[in-house]
Structure 1
């Protein structure tokens, strides 16, 4: 069962597509994803999403019964998109370090809140099915990293080890991008990407 099941009955009359040809549901979801990732769960309202998307609040309710349903759907579809983008970067040419830096730069260049903090805010409003859907989608993202790290072990780019643990460790390192400053420093996304990948691959010990 998907997180969008159990909706309230919709009134007849499907909203029109936007003038640029983008389906309205996609516009609403993309806008919701950006707002939730920028601001967290609590500060975002359906009215805010509708206003930023340039649609009516009634149009939002046509597709989503409430904020929790919109949040769950937006986050799940966001993870699917991120997994596809992640896999494309990791499957591209270049050695592992170059591809990880490229991936980190994309991640750190986007404005985002701490995902686990956002989930703690949202959890009381979400059903068990919605929570499971989000965690499964998140696991799919870690799965893309896991596949890349296992392949790197086969090629000898990484030492043999737990590739899924490495996937979670790399994701955790990228969460440092949520910080505006690191002590007295305010590194750019490009600088921080290189430094975090270097730390991930070589550690802090002197070699």
Structure 2
């Protein structure tokens, strides 16, 4: 398998893949001239990517919008990376290209979309629905029956009470407490969370 993107997020995924012993990483694609090898893995230029697109791939980039952009551009076979220390209920559904990091907890009947990041120690309770390209940051907690729209960022240490609907491409600030539904593109901070501005509409 291969990774696209050689940043810090990539290094975490490399660690997950090595610990899971499910795949061997044959290379990483990144155009940064400082990168020739990451850990013991060779780095290729992105112009060579087409040669490898019959292989298995993860987009190892933390930015939600960039993951969406490249997932549309590449016709690769996308796989998941799931840390062996994540706790995942048997009936959780995880779609392609998603990364689940160490200590994450996904409880009964959770659905995770495509190319999501469920970061270290995040808690996603029963019956939550996480749409495509979402990033649930470290130590954030979603109570039961929360729905998170496409491309949204849940900040580190944020808390969301049960039954909340969070719109697409919104940003929940670090440590924010969400007690009311969140509209599309809203940027929310504080306890309780309040809208301070709106994000620009994402580029398709």
Q: Could you say whether these structures have the same fold, taking a TM-score greater than 0.5 normalized by the shorter chain as the test? A: no
- Normalising by structure 1, report the TM-score: 0.28
User: Per residue, is there more strand in 1 or in 2?
Assistant: 2
TM-score (norm 2): 0.29
